[in-house]
Amino acid sequence: MRQHRLHDLGNLIVTTAGLELLSGADDIDEMFASGSDLDLFSGADQLLFGNDQLLFGADADLLFGANSIEDPDLAMLSNIVSGSDIVDPIDIAGAGLDIIGASTTTARQRALAAAAAKRKKALALRNLLAQRKKEAAQRRLQGMANIGIQPTLAVNTGYTKARVFPFGFQADAPTPAGQPGSVTRRPQTPIKIRRLVIPSVIAPAFVITDIKVGKDSQFVGSDPIPGETFSPQSVAVELTGDTANVGHDVTISFANISGAAQLFRAVLIGPAVE
């Protein structure tokens, strides 16, 4: 009976804001003074922390908006900060990190999508220009056909044959004794220099000072080379010179080292293409 009265009293204290309990009202003092074993703070009904859990128990959500919170201070702090029942601060930090990661991924995806869209537009523009160019060419051909002009197409097929040809050189006049001279010729087909041949009867009378294809020398030194090196009987004198294209100057420079005037003659041999 006594416990029921105390329980009703506890309910009355809570429903009326409990001002008497906190301010030291006379009724409460009398209850403590009576020597009863009510134990408002730790007794059977446990008005504050007991079965009814008026302040911090099952009905703690009246104060903090949370259910089954073991530590009401932490519950209140988490609810104030996050507005939810999150208790562990790591959960809050993890959620923030997840959001940041998601934003980064989304930005990367947007950048990739934008780059792909640009490539697609560039490809479409290139295809469109090619189509327009093709259509313009067809219109030109059609216009020429309408006025009676038959268009012809010139195709450079390149060189289809290669053969070894001689390329002859002969001075315009004999070279005096002890004097230098030169002969310049231009090929009618491209030819690659492979060998120089000087007749045996005049080879001892000359030294070769240079062979040029265009402006490029085919020698690696400045000293002259004896004419006997290029006689028909010589071996191991094959060259790998430059290719002389049509109209290029090919020049053989020499000097007469004999005691009499000599007419210089020589042949360049190499593959020529048609």
Closest alpha carbon to 255 in 180, 189, 186: 180
Q: Regarding predicted confidence, which is higher, 39 or 72?
A: 72
- 228 three-class SS: helix
Average pLDDT on 167-193 reads 94
Q: What is the CB neighbour count within 10 angstroms for residue 173?
A: 9
Per-residue confidence (pLDDT) for residue 158, from 0 to 100: 59
Reported as a pLDDT band with limits 50, 70 and 90, residue 105 is low
Grade residue 83 by pLDDT with cuts at 50, 70 and 90. Answer: very low
Crossing angle for the helix pair 89-146 and 72-82, to the nearest 10 degrees? 20
The full set of domains in the chain, from first to last, is: 162-273 (2.60.120)
Does residue 209 carry a pLDDT above 50? yes
Any idea which of 14-23, 146-155, 202-211 has the lowest mean pLDDT? Answer: 14-23
> Is residue 247 over pLDDT 60?
yes
Average confidence score pLDDT of the chain: 71
pLDDT above 50 for 265:
yes
Q: Which residues contact 225 (CB under 8 A, 6 or more apart)?
A: 207, 208, 219
The structure tokens listed for 130 are: 């090619």
pLDDT tens-digit readout, 43-61: 444 444 444 444 444 444 4
E strand intervals along the chain: 162-170, 180-185, 191-192, 195-197, 206-213, 216-217, 225-226, 243-244, 250-256, 265-273
Stated length of the chain? 274
- Residue 3: the pLDDT is 47
17-26, 39-48, 106-115, 199-208 — most confident range: 199-208
The model's pLDDT over 122-160, given as tens digits with 9 standing for 90+, comes to: 999 999 999 999 998 888 877 766 776 665 655 555 556
- Out of 21-25, 144-148, 175-179, 229-233, give the one with best mean pLDDT: 175-179
